[in-house]
Structure 1
Amino acid sequence: MDSLVGRKRNLYIAAFTANIAFSSCGCCLAWTSPTLPLLANPESFLLVNEEQGSWVGSLIAVGGVVGPLLAGRLLDRVGRKYSLIIDIILLLIAWAILIVANAVWMLYLGRFLTGVAVGLIFMAIPLYIAEIAEDDLRGALCSLNELFLAAGFVTAYAAGPYLSYRNLIFVCIIMPSVFLVIFLWMPESPHHLLAKGRREETIKTLRWLRGGVPEDYIEKELIEIQELLDNSKEQLSLFEITHSRGGSKALFITCGLVFFQQFTGINAIQFYTQQIFKKATEVISPTLSSIMLGAVQAISSLFTPAVVSHLGLKIPLLISALGTSISQALLGLFYFLDSSGQDVSSIVWLPVASLISFTFFFCCGFGPLPWAVMGEMFPPNMKAISSAAVTSFCFTLMFFITKFFSNVSTFLGNHSAFWLFSVVCFIGFIFTYIFLPETKGLSLQDIQDLLNGQINQRSNAVQNSYEFSVQTRLTSKEEIDKEIEKTSMLL
């Protein structure tokens, strides 16, 4: 086992280092929670009213819409690695603008540029990890993002109440700085290297990532990557992608998943976190409630990679959809009883339990896994533009929910809004069950064959044959790992 972990060590290092960028995103997304109250204080060095504060909070989503659309081609031109490095430099510039801000427009500019950087991170990291990972580890490694996001959230939530405006920014700069220093030493995606004709560099990268496997195994993976590239040579526009069988299906699935991700009500839950905890007890301070929620998010995210490794992506998404649906329904029930004037003192624990339950199920499925699905669904000639479209669509939804949820909940009532989210979550369960194929253990080329109908899932004979070929490939990997372990024991 030690030798197996050692063989995969470099892959783990590359994947974990890349995901540090998501911790930077967590700090960006959570920054407004402790900061806006400081800026709203009459004694603030830069006074911000409620309307201006709402724009400071929501402009990160606007940047998240624009960023991927502007940088979509950057991924193919300079590669995944250097796109991320450029992006982190942009993020540091955005933080620098916020540090020196002495006018509201500078806050707007800093938050917009922060959103541009965050949008590109959400777009690029899943693609990078999907392309460096082995087939049996791809889902688990792509699902790490929620754990690293949670680390960023907890950092901002825990440090924010005790630091000044500028000192909190200095804390938030630590993670992108660490990423920049370490990620410079990580390899480029083998898919991008081979697409640029850099075959020897591709082989060297695969040797480093795979850590001691036989040369024929490297050659086999090289052939598989080349086959995938050969089958998708011509770069397609978004219009052309929507008119191709596999591309349209991949867009439908990924856009559907990010739609249900946003309409689980995650932004509404974050909006009402402090209010929900106050309903439970006056002992829990708003600061402690935010830290507690971040801790639940981090702990629940620890389970996701292991679960995905054993069950694939589909089953955790189904469980997540049901769990978030029930949690939102119970939360809506509490608010309905409370608004109806009924005595809720005996169930005052219900909103907190619902909040914790929702956070757990969201972080185990619909939080990280739509991005994992996006990372593996598109062939090389569609990845950049399709991932940009999906990411921009996600941040568009985030903007509208963040900016206008309070108006909708005022009109419908809190209970109706939460019940609406509950219904949408259940529809997400149906959507996932019907349309999302299970991709556990499949190569990226296998997934394209599946989406393009070259593998007929309705035919038992064909499906059994296909499953046998996948199992054979997985078995060969296990045999390689066993041989390496035996050799190391003899030595």
Structure 2
Amino acid sequence: MPSHNGRNELEVESGPENDESTEALQNEPNISNEQNRTKYSKYSYKAILAQGLMATVALMITATNGMTAGYPALLLPQLQSENSTLLTTEEEGSWIASIHSIMTPIGSLMSGPIMERIGRRSSLLISIIPRVLGWLCISLANSHLTLLAGRSLTGIATGLSAAPALVLLAEIAEPRLRGLLVGAPSTSFSLGILLIYALSSVLPWKTVAVVAMIIPLLALILFFLLPESPLWLAKMNRKEEALKALTWLRGGSEEQARHELEVMNEQQQHNQLIDEANSSSKNRSPLLSRPILRALMVVNVFNFFQVMAGTFTIISYAVNVLQQATGGTATDTEIAVVTALTRVLLTAVACFMLLRIGRRPMTISSGLGSGAAALLLSAWLLWAPETTMFSWVPPTLVITFVIFNSYGFFMIQGLMIGEMFPARARGPASGVTCATINTTLFFSTKLYPKMTHAFKPSGLFLFFGLMTLAGTLFAHLFMPETKGKTLAEVEEHFSGPSLFWGRNNSPERRQNITENMPVRNAQNTN
């Protein structure tokens, strides 16, 4: 309730288990929103180069994830052609495409504990081992079993690397660059898809697998020259190493690095006290705290709609999906390369849009545009007259779907993982999220051939359109705006009285957050 000075006192239900935490929290001074923000010095070219170099190596890993995801799109047509040296049925092809996605959650669940124990950079280093071994198996494959083993290893590598790459980028970036750097993995992922499509259009699939080993091996060498995440080092109480790493990332400004580390330390102390006050057990996992559970729910439900909207189905089955939509009027290479190139260009532009435009308007406009394109394509395929006069309509609608999907639905996944999970639970929360995404992706990829037979192309795009619009509505109701917000402010949103964005973003609540950051009212916890 309001105190005599107009500020909200922290109230905790009385009980012997909470007395100590309550006293500590009540004696802890409030840190205002302005105090909690880091005072940033003017950008120096050294800081930009340092963060850019670190990001580039991490993005090399996400590019190889894109290569792995896009590989089946042109691999399956080669395997299923009449002159294939490894003849493959539709059922075998569905396993080759989807086994990557069922193995990825294994790596994802492992990535959380691993990155918390040995660090973000070290986790990415470890992920390179199964990736190179996987591509090696594929390059030597003379049977479906060896090919599936290779795809399984690259799937595990994708799971091991996806969350650490996003977390590393979020933790090294200055807030004004965070949207650009955390959004960049979508562009590098798309670039990896384009690269694998281009290689597969001119080289045999085994040779493509050999070439695909070059980028991860190069990243392996470069990672040894770069520091670990300063935030992780600070959490491990390796203060001197954290200061050295952050000073390098800030262009040599030790004063700025010290200030940022002080803010990190203060926030960690507050988080620890709050978790103790909100939990009857000090050993309780941070994943079970209400703000993190809420963030997990919002991120994973949206990602379910994202996957079911066909975002990744078109990547794995690009040739098949788009030839069904266009009636087979274009070649495999034309379809695959145009969609991949479109995705690269749109995600690159979107990275810079993120510096000016909020996440919510980009996601909602992306969903409305791609949903409308999918529904129009479904209607056209169902009712359009059979004539060559309008043969340009289906491919145009497909490209429109890819355009709108790319700058919002496709890339928001990485942003949500990087910006919505607080540091104390970012590792396990990111691992759980990536595992959930890829489990959903496995079922959608594995069942795609059956869906095409059951629904036909018109029904398939009707399904994509409805899932896209459902995801858009969910984003409108529940997704918080993270642009320009500190990670502590984002966490405070999920501690509010409601999951609905409108209620938690009311003027009264924004004022309350500003006055009382980052202390929470413990009565609001369940």
TM class, shorter-length: 0.7 to 0.9
1:261 and 1:192 map into 2 onto residues whose CA distance is 30
Contact kept? 2:247, 2:254, Cα under 8 Å? no
Match of 1:370 among 413, 417, 421: 413
Map 1:26-425; keep pairs closer than 5 Å: 26-41=66-81, 43-213=83-253, 215=255, 217-233=256-272, 240=285, 243-270=288-315, 271=317, 273-274=319-320, 276-277=322-323, 280=326, 284-338=330-384, 342-425=385-468
Amino acid at match of 1:140: L
Amino acid at match of 1:219: R
- Which residue of structure 1 lines up, in the alignment, with residue 507 of structure 2? 460
1:399-444 superposed Cα distances (whole Å, 9 cap, x missing partner): 1111112322322332223122212211212211121111112222
Cα distance change, pair 80–259 in 1 and its aligned pair in 2 (3 A) = same
Q: Cα distance, 1:141 vs. partner?
A: 0.9
Q: Where is the helix percentage greater, Structure 1 or Structure 2? A: 1
Contact kept? 2:136, 2:210, Cα under 8 Å? no
* RMSD of Structure 2 on Structure 1 (CA): 2.9
Contact kept? 2:323, 2:329, Cα under 8 Å? no
Contact kept? 1:277, 1:351, Cα under 8 Å? no
Q: Cα distance, 1:350 vs. partner?
A: 1.8
Contact kept? 1:224, 1:445, Cα under 8 Å? no
Please identify, of 369-378 and 276-285, the stretch whose mean Cα deviation from structure 2 is larger: 276-285
Q: Cα distance, 1:300 vs. partner?
A: 1.0
Cα distance change, pair 466–240 in 1 and its aligned pair in 2 (3 A) = closer
- 2:471 maps to 1:428: yes
2:412 and 2:360 map into 1 onto residues whose CA distance is 9
1:228-269 superposed Cα distances (whole Å, 9 cap, x missing partner): 333445899999556422011110111022112202212443
Q: Cα distance, 1:346 vs. partner?
A: 3.8
Amino acid at match of 2:261: L
Cα distance change, pair 337–239 in 1 and its aligned pair in 2 (3 A) = farther
Amino acid at match of 2:496: G
Q: Secondary structure at the match of 2:201?
A: helix
Contact kept? 1:274, 1:290, Cα under 8 Å? no
Cα distance change, pair 238–374 in 1 and its aligned pair in 2 (3 A) = farther
Cα distance change, pair 452–461 in 1 and its aligned pair in 2 (3 A) = closer
1:7-52 superposed Cα distances (whole Å, 9 cap, x missing partner): 3221122112211111101111122222233333455444433322
Unaligned runs of 5+ residues in structure 1 are 471-491
Q: What TM-score results when the alignment is normalised by the length of structure 2? A: 0.82
Q: Cα distance, 1:459 vs. partner?
A: 5.1
1:55 and 1:397 map into 2 onto residues whose CA distance is 15
2:86 and 2:371 map into 1 onto residues whose CA distance is 41
Q: Cα distance, 1:449 vs. partner?
A: 2.2
1:394 and 1:24 map into 2 onto residues whose CA distance is 18
Q: Cα distance, 1:333 vs. partner?
A: 1.2
Q: Cα distance, 1:5 vs. partner?
A: 4.4
Contact kept? 1:26, 1:149, Cα under 8 Å? yes
Q: What TM-score results when the alignment is normalised by the length of structure 1? A: 0.87
Q: Secondary structure at the match of 1:347?
A: coil
1:263 and 1:238 map into 2 onto residues whose CA distance is 37
Q: Cα distance, 1:304 vs. partner?
A: 1.0
Q: Cα distance, 1:390 vs. partner?
A: 0.9
- Which residue of structure 1 lines up, in the alignment, with residue 27 of structure 2? none
Contact kept? 1:264, 1:324, Cα under 8 Å? no
Query: How many residue pairs end up in the alignment?
Result: 466
2:325 and 2:455 map into 1 onto residues whose CA distance is 20
1:96-122 superposed Cα distances (whole Å, 9 cap, x missing partner): 222222332111111111111112222
Q: Cα distance, 1:61 vs. partner?
A: 0.4
- Which residue of structure 1 lines up, in the alignment, with residue 28 of structure 2? none
Contact kept? 1:238, 1:385, Cα under 8 Å? no
Contact kept? 2:180, 2:354, Cα under 8 Å? yes
1:398 and 1:274 map into 2 onto residues whose CA distance is 17
Contact kept? 2:287, 2:429, Cα under 8 Å? no
Map 1:437-476; keep pairs closer than 5 Å: 437-453=480-496, 457=504, 460-461=507-508, 463-464=510-511
Q: Cα distance, 1:181 vs. partner?
A: 1.9
